[in-house]
Amino acid sequence: MYTGGYMGKVLRVNLSTKEITTEELPEKIAKDFIGGAGFGIKYLFDEVPGDTDALGEENKLIFAPGPLSGTSAPCASRMAVTTKSPLTNAVGMALSGGYFPVELKFAGYDVLIIEGKSEEPVYLWIKDDNVSIRKADKIWGMNTIDTQDVLKQELKEESARIACIGPAGENLSKMAAIINERRAFGRKGVGAVMGSKNLKAIAVRGTKEVPIGNEELFKKARSAMLAGMKESPMLYPHFSKLGTPMVVDATSALGIFPSENYRNTGEDDYTESLGAESSVARTLGNEHCYGCPVGCTQMKLARGGNLKYQGTMSDPEYETYYSLGSCTGVKNHDAVIHADHLCDKLGLDTISVGVTIGFAMELYESGLLSKEQTSGLDLRFGNDEAMVDAITEIAYRNEGIGSLLCDGSKVLAEQIGQGSEKYAMHVKGLEFPAYDPRGAKAHGLNYVTSYTGADHNRGYAPQEIFGAEIPKAYDRFTPEGKGWLTMYNQDLRSATCDCPTMCGFLIDMALPHMAEENTADMVSGATGLDIKKEDVMVIGARVNNLARAFNLTAGLTKADDTYPERILTEPIKEGGSKGHYVSPEELEMMLNDYYDSRNWTKEGVPTEERLSELGLDEAIVKLKEKGLL
């Protein structure tokens, strides 16, 4: 039995019946799935049918930190929110750091499951063992910043931590995020699911301590982890000072920093306008998540240029410099800071919003989208004012450009037609992140095969992006061996980051040589469970296979494991990846390698043998019921 790490409780809140209950966290779930995304996917699979309407009452929102959250483990203040995504109709899982994740642990809970739908706007107030559902009519319609301020005043709890939605979630934009302080559960439309339940916010205040199961082992593992962090040539000398914006320069050098909806990657240089030097000039300081010595979040101040942007403070990450910068052709650094702030304030995912606006810009320039349809916005690439104005239109689902763009690139392409789907940069409905897959084949194959769609964090390939040689060095251009490597990266990331829960940047930059051992020792020390190094990748495989099984029951097939036509037919024209693309034959070869490596069928269905090895009998039953196995 676990003796630490976990608080031992699952909190259920049914918004339809107003019933609030608690139950014990089963030891088997704890050991088999660790926490975070593992818990979320397990409860989602068991309790939400695959064919559920993502915005319907039957869908659930599952909040789960990990066993390391709230302990003295560094860089572990993270939480997964899992649901059926309205954007992809697949597993929707979003992660966030900050202080909200540990506060739920301090209140005494390992999992919070939101069920049903309230007839009126409400918020949830959790103060240790006291949980109540309260009217939110006064804060419905507020932006996320004001919502958090007003709730703290109303509750007379300045120390409360709050996760909430903004107007975008209320208006059911499929790109809506859940915001806690300056952090976002950003992707897959989790904010729309929260809005569909008429749940405006979750406020938490906890006063309990997270127990440690094996103090001696935990201290030893923590010391080894801190030593590994200190020895990293990248973590403290560079990453803690520059944060993720430093990656703009790295991917630009590789020729994979995408621009103008991927039509001219490598042809234009964004390092001077959006790179590290420009970023440092606007840095005010950094912020830390709970228990993090790194503090990679870089606070920026818009300092000049357009008066509309001056004085705006925000913390854009690398992905935002791409989505609201290069993908829309915008080189105005202050506009990106302002747009990032606006997305956080209104409750939108910066990646999906920026990529969707970039797609709309290409449609506009090619004559497939008229000025009448754009509500008068001049949506040319590089027009930062139009980009910024579009964000507000999207959040409020305003008639015209707002309603046209608010559900993402896939829906936009379906509405426009005329072959526009060739240039809609998404997989399974989730917009591409900031790495052109034509110049990094394993990184890109992860977009195709990840259970959430085009999501770089589910199977990040540091071997291609940063030249990591673990498990060995790889040529980023070749398709050979990339199926196995993608499986490896996905399982490693799931088990070492998404479940415990631990910051992925930390693993990639400082601990790749000890990721599995670190996870086994830290989790065993915290929980008192006996988790071996060799168990770690098995847990990662279990999570990814169960997520795949859910997606299959939701109706996804091998046909969804593909790229838009641009990636399959158009070579990158200039830069460090000039001439490269992913041909249909290469993609098929890599997919076959991936399916074989996972012991799945040629159609991408996990075999009964593999599911049985992983102890996923419940998946075998459901897939057989659906005639898929």
Domain end marker among 431, 449, 473: 431
Together in a domain, 599 and 452: yes
> For residue 240, is it within any domain?
no
- Answer yes or no: is 237 within a domain: no
Ranges 279-293, 321-335, 357-371, 389-403: which has the least confidence: 279-293
CA distance 396 to 317: 24
Q: For the chain, what is the total number of helices (H) and then of strands (E)?
A: 27, 17
The Cα 486–Cα 102 span in angstroms is 31
Instruction: Answer yes or no: do 276 and 321 share one domain.
Output: yes
Q: Is the pLDDT of residue 289 over 90?
A: no
User: Is there a single domain that holds both residue 488 and residue 569?
Assistant: yes
- Supply the DSSP symbol for 469: -
- Beta-sheet pairing, 111-115 with 9-14: parallel
The DSSP symbol for 244 reads G
Structure tokens at 569: 């037919």
How many distinct structural domains can be found in the chain? Answer: 3
Tens digit of pLDDT for each residue in 118-155?
999 999 999 999 999 999 999 999 999 999 999 999 99
Q: In this structure, are 46 and 134 located in the same domain?
A: yes
User: pLDDT digits over 313-371, tens only?
Assistant: 898 999 999 999 999 999 999 999 999 999 999 999 999 999 999 999 999 999 999 99
Residues 82-94: what's their mean pLDDT? 98
| Res 292: pLDDT | 81
CB-CB contact of 147 with 178 (8 Å): no
- The pLDDT score that the predictor gives to residue 237 is 79
Same domain, 410 and 477: no
Q: Are residues 550 and 470 in the same domain?
A: yes
| pLDDT at residue 399 tops 80 | yes
Both 276 and 304 in one domain: the answer is: yes
pLDDT band for position 287 (cuts 50, 70, 90): confident
Which pTM does this prediction carry? 0.97
Least Cα distance to 352 among 312, 323, 326 occurs for 323
CATH number, domain at 369? 1.10.569.10
256-274 mean pLDDT: 96
pLDDT (tens digit per residue) in 46-79: 999 999 999 999 999 999 999 999 999 998 999 9
User: Among 522, 521, 526, 519, which residue's Cα sits nearest to residue 504?
Assistant: 519
Domain containing residue 127: CATH number: 3.60.9.10
CA distances from 455 to 15, 360, 451, 598 (A): 30, 21, 9, 19
Q: In 10 A of CB 286, how many CB atoms?
A: 16
Domain span at 562: 439-625
Per mean pLDDT, which range of 272-286, 346-360, 398-412, 473-487 is the poorest?
272-286
**Cα(486)–Cα(187) distance, integer angstroms:** 21
Question: Is the dihedral angle over the CA atoms 369, 375, 378, 382 positive or is it negative?
Answer: negative
pLDDT score of 300 = 84
593-629 tens-digit pLDDT: 999 999 999 999 999 999 999 999 999 999 999 999 9
Q: Which of 181-190, 290-299, 455-464 has the lowest mean pLDDT?
A: 290-299
| Backbone φ/ψ region at 20: left (φ over 0), alpha (ψ -120 to 50), beta | beta
Contact partners, residue 233, CB within 8 Å, separation at least 6: none
Residues 122, 263 within the same domain = no
CA atoms within 13 A of residue 4's CA, in its CB half-sphere: 22
Mean pLDDT in residue range 228-235: 84
pLDDT at 465: 94
d(CA 515, CA 534): 12
CA distance 125 to 136: 11
Following CA atoms 212, 216, 218, 219 in sequence, which dihedral angle do they give, to the nearest 10 degrees? 120
CATH code: domain of residue 599: 1.10.599.10
Tokens 């979040």: give the residue: 297
Say whether pLDDT at 293 is over 80.
no
The pLDDT of residue 235 is 76
> Does residue 115 sit in the same domain as residue 255?
no
pLDDT of residue 96: 94
Query: What is the distance between the alpha carbons of residues 118 and 275, in angstroms, rounded to a whole number?
Result: 45
**Residue 219 maps to a domain:** no
> What pLDDT is attached to residue 297?
80
- Tokens 């020390």 sit at which residue? 525
The terminus-to-terminus CA distance of the chain in angstroms comes to: 34
**Cβ atoms 118, 86 nearer than 8 A:** no
DSSP state of 264: S
pLDDT tens by residue, 541-572: 999 999 999 999 999 999 999 999 999 999 99
Q: Give mean pLDDT, residues 509-529.
A: 92
612 is a domain residue: yes
Assigned domain for 232 exists: no
Final residue of a structural domain among 374, 404, 431: 431
Q: What are residue 148's phi and psi, to 5 degrees?
A: -65, -40
Model confidence at 242, pLDDT cuts 50, 70, 90, reads: confident
Same domain, 393 and 511: no
Task: Match 């999501």 to its residue by tokens.
Answer: 455
227 found inside a domain: no
Does 1 fall in a domain?
no
State pLDDT tens for residues 201-221: 999 999 999 999 999 999 999
Coil, strand, or helix at residue 32? Answer: helix
Q: Are 480 and 594 in contact, with CB atoms under 8 Å apart?
A: no
In this structure, the answer to whether residues 460 and 396 fall within a common structural domain is no
Tell me: do 451 and 415 sit in the same domain. no
Q: For residue 94, list its beta bridge partners.
A: 81
Q: Band of the pLDDT at 251, cuts 50, 70, 90? A: very high
For residue 222, being part of any structural domain is answered with no
Cβ atoms of residues 344 and 184 within 8 Å: yes
Burial of 468 (0-12, 13-18, 19+ CB in 10 A): middle
Note whether 452 and 90 are within 8 A (CB): yes
- pLDDT of the residue at 511: 83
* Mean of pLDDT values over 513-530: 95
End-of-domain residue from the set 371, 401, 431: 431
Mean pLDDT of the chain: 95
